[in-house]
Structure 1
Amino acid sequence: MSLRAKTAVYGLLCVLALPFLFPTWWMVTSSVKPLSEVFAFPPTLFPSSVSFQAYRDVFTLQPFAQQYFNSMYIALAVTVGTLAVSSLAGYAFARIRFPGANVLFLVILTGLLIPSEVTIVPLFQMFHSWGMIDTHWPLILVPILGAPSVLATFIMRQFFLALPGELEEAARMDGLGRFAIFSRIALPLARPALGAVAIFTFLHSWNLYLEPIVFLSTAEKFTLPQALTQFVDAYGGPMWNVQLSAASLTAIPVLVIFVIAQRQFIEGLAHTGLKG
């Protein structure tokens, strides 16, 4: 491709990226604007004056640091748990032949068809009977054992199906058992799929909103999506500059993780047949 063609392609890509980048740019710049300038029309690309008072208000009006920590450790716990469950289940469905495997896998996949709103009431009753309401346990256990883990299991199964069977046969000849083959050979080769699953899972847990508002009632235990709705004035109206500041802080881990793991994310989708 010639230099002129490359320049044209990159220029077109930059133009197409503007609709996706502008909302993020507006969010970040509006978080340091005066409140009267947030909804100015036409929207301003740069604030006339910069103030970080809204960022200070984020931590004084709510226990935002604690809420930030809550979301972070819950998302990490869910990600690690989902990786463990989905990799084991995906390997079992891909490599172990047992009666009814396909039927069982089809039954598990139907979990993706059930909206979370349908199961939220029985889940609330179940966790209430276990004394886990207003704790973080439902936010950890439900994603690991629910629909997000089903999608992760499907991705891992598709990846393990694509691995050459000769690798396992050679490992068996060397005296390795089933779990040793999984942990020493299959799992290290599955890094691209694990990266894709990790990003999917972390984003889902980080952005979870319905379950926190159902299971949590104490401000110190809130997660970030729930906390963002609490920045209101004395009349119940939204404090836009404070909310935008909190939203900007909330977006940082997502951007960092995607930048770090984007190569594994793309490779994982390519190996599992989920390319767009």
Structure 2
Amino acid sequence: MRRKTLLYGLLCVLCVPFVFPTWWMATSSLKPVSEIFAFPPTPWPGRPTLEAYRQVFALQPFALQYWNSLYIALVVTVGTLAVSALAGYAFARIRFRGSNVLFVIVLTGLLIPSEVTIVPLFQLFHGWGLTDTHWPLVLVPVLGAPSVLATFIMRQFFLVLPHELEEAAAVDGLGRLATFRRIALPLARPALGAVAIFTFLHSWNLYLEPIVFLSSPEKFTLPQALTQFVDAYGGPMWNVQLAAASLTALPVLVVFVLAQKQFVEGLAHTGLKG
């Protein structure tokens, strides 16, 4: 009992550096600016106020920007799941000449920084007339590096599935696509959960692409919108920025808390077999 108590106490101490910044962000959003930088810092506002949250929606079309980030993240997540599940299953189960070489070529997409490709991508989408739209924010992640990592995770998961399941499906008369849809895909829920979480988080926190492709405030996503809360002199409005950041962090916390089990289980299967 004493050993368990010491272990829990140690874990509580170790989690302080991770929990305290979030706690400070949330509580400081309820303080006036003068109290935010008071010394010594207070763990809870003396006079909590929601004025900063009111200003968040008054100074910008924050609700619309929130919706932009939400629907883009959901579309990107669904698109990435579809592409990575099909590609991962194909690399794991369909053997053809040069499949391993092709897979290595696909993985090289992870080695190319997004900063290297952003200018060619901008020229491409500008030529198509898709700048200042949300199309680049959907197509680039679904067909880019996040989808490559997702494909790797799905391939590793499908590699460890017993071949007997597919052989039994073939005996029952199922084709390749039906076997994937009715047997392999339902068994891949842990891997799909892991892919869905990190894809949603990546899209939700995407910053470089929005500032390059978007110029209209009503089309901004949240990371870009957070930089716009400044006063007349260009200085940061700290309480307003912290309020907006607290609202921005909510979906991330909810998604991870609800799906953390699937996330851990999914990643546990990514390195079992090469």
Query: Same-fold call, TM > 0.5?
Result: yes
Task: Output the amino acid matched with 2:249.
Answer: A
Q: Any residues of structure 2 matched to 1:158-169 within 5 Å, and which?
A: 158-169=156-167
What secondary structure is seen at the aligned counterpart in 1 of 2:43? Answer: coil
| Residue from 168, 190, 193 that aligns with 1:192 | 190
Seq. identity, %? 81
Return the alpha-carbon distance in structure 2 between the equivalents of residues 39 and 148 of structure 1. 38
Tell me the equivalent position of 2:147: 149
- In the alignment, structure 1 segments of 5+ residues that lack a partner are none
State the number of aligned residues. 272
Tell me the equivalent position of 2:176: 178
What secondary structure is seen at the aligned counterpart in 1 of 2:78? Answer: helix
Q: Any residues of structure 2 matched to 1:199-214 within 5 Å, and which?
A: 199-214=197-212
Return the alpha-carbon distance in structure 1 between the equivalents of residues 231 and 263 of structure 2. 41
Q: What's the TM-score, normalizing by structure 2?
A: 0.98
Q: Within the alignment, does 1:25 sit opposite 2:23 as a pair? A: yes
Tell me the equivalent position of 1:225: 223
Tell me the equivalent position of 1:257: 255
Tell me the equivalent position of 2:127: 129
- In the alignment, structure 2 segments of 5+ residues that lack a partner are none
CA shift for structure 1 position 8: 1.4
CA shift for structure 1 position 42: 2.9
With 6-15 and 76-85 compared, the bigger mean Cα shift is at: 6-15
CA shift for structure 1 position 271: 1.4
Tell me the equivalent position of 2:81: 83
Across the aligned residues of Structure 1 and Structure 2, the Cα RMSD in angstroms comes to: 0.8
Return the alpha-carbon distance in structure 2 between the equivalents of residues 78 and 248 of structure 1. 23
What secondary structure is seen at the aligned counterpart in 1 of 2:133? Answer: coil
Per-residue Cα deviation, 1:120-139 (whole angstroms, up to 9, x for no partner): 00000000011100000000
What secondary structure is seen at the aligned counterpart in 2 of 1:272? Answer: coil
CA shift for structure 1 position 29: 0.4
Tell me the equivalent position of 1:49: 47
Per-residue Cα deviation, 1:221-265 (whole angstroms, up to 9, x for no partner): 000000000000000000000000000000000000001101100
Task: Output the amino acid matched with 2:92.
Answer: A
What secondary structure is seen at the aligned counterpart in 1 of 2:148? Answer: helix
Moved over 6 A (4+): none
CA shift for structure 1 position 273: 2.4
| Residue from 35, 38, 50 that aligns with 1:37 | 35
What secondary structure is seen at the aligned counterpart in 2 of 1:231? Answer: coil
